[in-house]
Amino acid sequence: MKIPDLAIVTNTNSVNKDLWSVHRMQIQRYMTEPHYVFSDEFDESIQVNKFIPYDSKLKFRSQFLSCIEQVEEKFCLYLNEDYLLYDAPDLDKLQEYVSVLQNNECFSFIRLAKGIDLFKIPISSTLNYLDSRNPYFFSQTASLWRTEHLMAVHAQGPDLHIAGNDMSQQFEVAATDVCRTLGIQGLYHYDGESKRGEYHYDSKIFPYTASALVKGEWNFKEYEKELKDLGRQYRVSFKKRGIYQ
């Protein structure tokens, strides 16, 4: 089953190239949509429809903007390389959610798992309105995006890196104010899934590790079983990175 007008977009960096094969092969196992990978370096383990390089000398915002501008599809599924599928996604539900975006131009994105939500506004049995007053309204979690709106957030946002000790200098934090200024509205999926970690829940629609890495180590604290299963399947050596528990 191929979902029309949808691309898969993976943002990554060569420091995490040891995850590329697992990430790509798990997606290809279940999905057939065009797959774009944004990275500073090409490697044979990528093997996707479209590899788009960025300049490693630029800050994250400029790197991502230079790549997302080249995505042709109207909608995209945003991922990072350590978002590893550990079970089959619900393709029918993904198709339904893409249709929700197609038929409701007021919405820019649908987050595929519940995070922080202080307001709890259901609009269907599995979709909730994400009020922009929530902290981390913009979040680099697995989400369906209207591509031009994701592009606009980066085009209008400050030129910052993705991480750093000063939270005010992180693009993910600053982008929430950009979304409010642009009038971005979003939804999130929740179907009674269990909480995983401190701030996020599992996802029946897209069962993935969010995230497989913590401080550069394998996140056994939250995903020990899932990562061990993937490790056996793909012969991953966890000792090279170490284990976060």
Q: How confident is the model at residue 46 (pLDDT cuts 50, 70, 90)?
A: confident
120-155 pLDDT, tens digit per residue, is: 999 999 999 999 999 999 999 999 999 999 999 999
Q: How confident is the model at residue 8 (pLDDT cuts 50, 70, 90)?
A: very high
Please tell me whether the peptide bond between 211 and the residue prior to it is cis, using omega within 30 degrees of 0.
yes
Beta-carbon contacts of residue 61 (< 8 Å; ≥ 6 apart): 154, 157, 158, 159, 160, 161, 171
Q: Can you give the pLDDT at residue 164?
A: 60
Q: What percent of the chain has pLDDT over 90?
A: 90
Q: How confident is the model at residue 43 (pLDDT cuts 50, 70, 90)?
A: confident
Mean pLDDT of 53-81: 97
Which residue blocks in 54-166 are alpha helix, DSSP H? 60-68, 91-103, 147-156
The Cα–Cα gap between 218 and 201 comes to 19
201-216 pLDDT, tens digit per residue, is: 999 999 999 999 999 9
Q: Can you give the pLDDT at residue 29?
A: 97
The Cα–Cα gap between 171 and 176 comes to 9
Q: Which domains does the chain have, with CATH numbers?
A: 6-211 (3.90.550.10)
25-38 pLDDT, tens digit per residue, is: 999 999 999 999 99
Q: Can you give the pLDDT at residue 35?
A: 96
Average pLDDT, rounded, for the chain? 95
Q: How confident is the model at residue 162 (pLDDT cuts 50, 70, 90)?
A: confident
Q: Can you give the pLDDT at residue 168?
A: 66
164-184 pLDDT, tens digit per residue, is: 666 667 998 999 999 999 999
Place of tokens 């269907």: 124
Of the candidates 95, 99, 101, 83, which has an alpha carbon nearest to the alpha carbon of residue 148?
101
Q: What is the pTM of this model?
A: 0.96
Task: List, as own/partner pairs, every contact residues 174-182 make where C-beta atoms lie below 8 angstroms and the sequence separation is at least 24, other chains included.
Answer: 175/138, 176/132, 176/135, 176/136, 176/137, 176/138, 178/138, 178/153, 179/108, 179/132, 179/137, 179/138, 179/153, 180/132, 180/137, 181/156, 182/149, 182/152, 182/153, 182/156
Mean pLDDT of 173-202: 96
